Structure 1
Amino acid sequence: MTAKQLVTPVFVALTELGAAQARSLKEKLGRGIIHGRRGRVAEEAADLLFDHAVEHIRDLFQAGEAIVGLCAAGVMTRAVAPLLADKMDEPPVLVMAEDGSAVVPLLGGHHGANELARELAALLDSVAAITTASDTRYGVALDEPPAGWKLGNPQHYKAFMAEVLAGASIRLDGQADWVSQSDLPLAADGALTLTVTEAPREGSEKELVLHPATLTLGVGCERNAPAEVLESLVLETLAANSLSPKSLAGVYSIDLKSDETAVQALARTLDVPARFYTAGELAEQGPRLKNPSDVVMAEVGCPGVSEGAALAAGGPDCELIVEKHKNAKATCAVARRAESLDGNSVGVARGRLVVVGLGPGDKSWRAPEVDQLVRGVTDLVGYHLYLDLLGPIGEGKERHGYELGEEEMRVRIALNLAAEGRSVALVCSGDPGIYAMAALTFELLDRGNRPDWNRVDIQVVPGISALQGASARIGAPLGHDFCTISLSDLLTPWEAIEKRLNAAAQGDFVVAFYNPVSRRRTEQLTKAVEILLQHRPGDTPVMLGRNLGREGETMTVVRLDELKSEMVDMLTVVLVGSSTSRRVAKSDGSCWVYTPRGYEKKAHLYADMDADKVAGGQS
């Protein structure tokens, strides 16, 4: 049995006093993120600013975040009330007084809110106003048992506990130390029963069923076997041996199967982790196997997968209670251990790599999905500056920072870490698929053809690119067809770049230039301007966005025939308008820039239609 995972709270502060209290608690806890109300909380006092409290709290709730509101309980209640549906799916929601005098868990008491409330109250030397009856009276929550245990019939919990609170005693049928050591009214002749069993049992309002995770399930299957083939084999085998799926600690197999859809789908169906072992680790279980196979040994390097994985996960003292069962495409076996097991504590998970983009720089431009995924990883890989820009969500992770120019090393390190079973975020600026690390990740997969890399679960998360940021700041220059061209010839021959420049110029595309200049490379932008001027007027607007989304941001508009290399550096994105791009003057002397799509023609058409209606006597 292991301790429950610590909840990472999002402190929602509506005032400076609340933000100060949140900073203090975050420091003492060693974890947490501070969201502050814009205009009431200083930017430097929060990790993120929001405009509308109720909307922001609802967004956090729907994202499943643990919320600690430093505000009145009424604010939090009104915010989440319309979203309440299933008690079992509610994330922790707490409110606390700004002076720290009280902490109240409102929702998700058995999903971490009560535990977090006690933790915060201890730091504040104040009161955790826990109202969950079973917690306050008995010190346990049977509907949220410790790791390594599951409640078999949660639908009966409410009625069962109502009788307990009314004075009924409980007979414990089986062994569960965490129950025996609680303050529950246990008695040999109790009117209610707590049954501890590995067997399937329906239970009732008079009987709660607790399943200890004492069973380890080993599986194997053919490559790309249908998920239902493995699932039906496992469920039929468990049923035939009177074993409940809720007593499984996890699904275990050889690492060659870590990316097998059927294995991962089975773990999701059973709501247990999927963990894996090398062939060498499974080979060590050879003397304990009931059905060793020379064929399997020759094929994967161990004498048996399903029996070996069940035994490896169960540990040296476990017993193989269900020998290898098989159908045409899959095998399974079950081992039993004396004590419950946290299924994540043995074997190795399938490695995961998320390639994320931070946007141009400002954290408010970062996709919420990026924050959510980065919080769940173990390792961060990227350019030092990009890792720094993650701010608080990067805290507590192992950092692997590299310099500019070490892009391939970054990706290799990220893939190697993920191949070891770690959860890794490869951090880029902008959008990871636009001149960033996503393409290189798949290029190395393609070039390397390494089985361990190919088994990694890879996800690319979009971000706001620099060209989108620049376009938004200045208006809508990307309102019609556009293209992007990198002027760096370090990886692409200049002849190829020049060919693309001519095509873009002839096609009258709006052009976004990436890597326009560097300290040693200034002539490429000059040549690009010369090519564009052959096909569009000299007064074509050129937009220079520097330090977008960061301190010192500037947005400048010049004529194409005025553009010089010295106006630009590597922190600048250059947008060159098409022949149809237009300036719109602003009252402060600056301008907007947009590229029309042709709505003017439609406007004439609508005007003609209106004129026809008037002529026909319609209004």
Structure 2
Amino acid sequence: MAESQSQSQDKASGGKLYVVGIGPGSVEQLTLKARDVILNADYVLGNSTYLDQMESLLGTQEVIRSFMGKEVERARKAVELAKNANVVMVSGGDTNVYGMAGIVLEVAEHESLDVDIEILPGVTAVLAGASILGAPVVTDFAVISLSDLLTPWEVIEKRLNMAADADFVIGLYNPKSRKRKSNFARAIEIIRKYKADSVPVGLVKNAMRGEEEDQIVTTLGEVMEYEDWVDMSTAILIGNGESRIWKSPKKDIIITPRGYHKKYDY
């Protein structure tokens, strides 16, 4: 495929590193620019899971596969290659929201490397899940990962308390894994101290991944009935005090009013 003008210039000036958010995991959800830079890259690096999702775009590029836990090594390799080539580092969801943008920039800063780096956004799970559930996130919200691999649980617990006390809509990432089975239950216990049991909760598994996608709409008081259903591929959205469930003819939909009803008649 012919190179874009900007990428031809990148090669002439010594290469460039793109950190690309691939969104939920389907090619259809990529931005046009993300698709373009992947197609025209010399090297594409990433977690094998995410590279598999982009397989239809990979052919002429040299693909370097990596795995969870190898993020620092992956970032170093990408920065090094970008000195002389066009390189794409793929990141699931968005590059900033628990993505690869931070570690790539940290590595470049630490090694004082003069490499041109561009960060391309992608649809993150909380927004993909929200679109499936209806409109749970139309006002102030907080997103909290329940993984204590890099963040101490004491810090996570503090954030849960403060976000729930402020009545933010709350998105929960990484709720459960084989090694972390209790964090989801602990988080719900904290949030229930501040929010009513009637508050809507949406659970979305494999958001926007075709036939793998599934969803449940329930309430804070009943969400633990679905604890066994929740896993690492599940995004959780917990409404605020004004959120409600609309039992539409098609499906249950979560609506969080933004406040238009207070100013306008409709």
Q: Same fold (TM over 0.5)?
A: yes
**What CA deviation, in whole Å up to 9, does each residue of 1:164-193 have, x standing for no partner?**
xxxxxxxxxxxxxxxxxxxxxxxxxxxxxx
Amino acid at match of 2:65: G
Q: 1:571 aligns with which of 226, 233, 245?
A: 233
Q: 2:94 aligns with which of 406, 425, 431?
A: 431
Q: 2:162 aligns with which of 503, 506, 509?
A: 503
Question: Which residue does 1:463 correspond to in 2?
Answer: 122
Question: Which residue does 1:558 correspond to in 2?
Answer: 218
Q: Distance in 1 between matches of 2:243 and 2:237?
A: 11
Q: Distance in 1 between matches of 2:189 and 2:229?
A: 16
Q: Distance in 1 between matches of 2:88 and 2:165?
A: 40
1:530 equivalenced with 2:189 (yes/no): yes
**What CA deviation, in whole Å up to 9, does each residue of 1:571-603 have, x standing for no partner?**
111111111111111114x31111111111112
Q: Distance in 2 between matches of 1:274 and 1:537?
A: 54
Contact kept? 2:129, 2:235, Cα under 8 Å: yes
Correspondences of 1:16-415 after superposition (within 5 Å): 349-415=13-79
Amino acid at match of 1:479: V
Amino acid at match of 1:362: S
Q: Distance in 2 between matches of 1:443 and 1:503?
A: 29
Q: Distance in 2 between matches of 1:441 and 1:537?
A: 41
Q: 2:106 aligns with which of 433, 443, 447?
A: 443
Higher relative contact order (CA 8 A, sep 6+): 2
Contact kept? 1:433, 1:439, Cα under 8 Å: yes
Report the number of matched residues. 262
Deviation of 1:457 (Å): 0.6
Sort the Cα spacing of 1:556 and 1:531 in 2 relative to 1 into closer, same or farther, 3 A: same
Q: Secondary structure at the match of 1:381?
A: strand
Q: Secondary structure at the match of 1:548?
A: coil
**What CA deviation, in whole Å up to 9, does each residue of 1:45-90 have, x standing for no partner?**
xxxxxxxxxxxxxxxxxxx8xxxxxxxxxxxxxxxxxxxxxxxx9x
Contact kept? 2:26, 2:54, Cα under 8 Å: no
Sort the Cα spacing of 1:439 and 1:7 in 2 relative to 1 into closer, same or farther, 3 A: closer
Deviation of 1:395 (Å): 1.2
Question: Which residue does 1:20 correspond to in 2?
Answer: none
Amino acid at match of 2:230: V
Contact kept? 1:529, 1:561, Cα under 8 Å: no
Amino acid at match of 1:577: G
Q: Distance in 2 between matches of 1:487 and 1:445?
A: 28
Q: 2:200 aligns with which of 530, 541, 545?
A: 541
Larger radius of gyration: 1
Q: Secondary structure at the match of 2:105?
A: helix
Q: Secondary structure at the match of 1:467?
A: helix
Q: Distance in 2 between matches of 1:597 and 1:274?
A: 44
CA RMSD of aligned residues (A): 2.1
Identity over aligned pairs, percent:
36
Amino acid at match of 2:101: A
TM-score (normalizing by structure 2): 0.92
Which sections of structure 1, spanning at least 5 residues, go unmatched? 1-5, 9-63, 65-88, 90-267, 276-343, 608-619
1:488 equivalenced with 2:147 (yes/no): yes
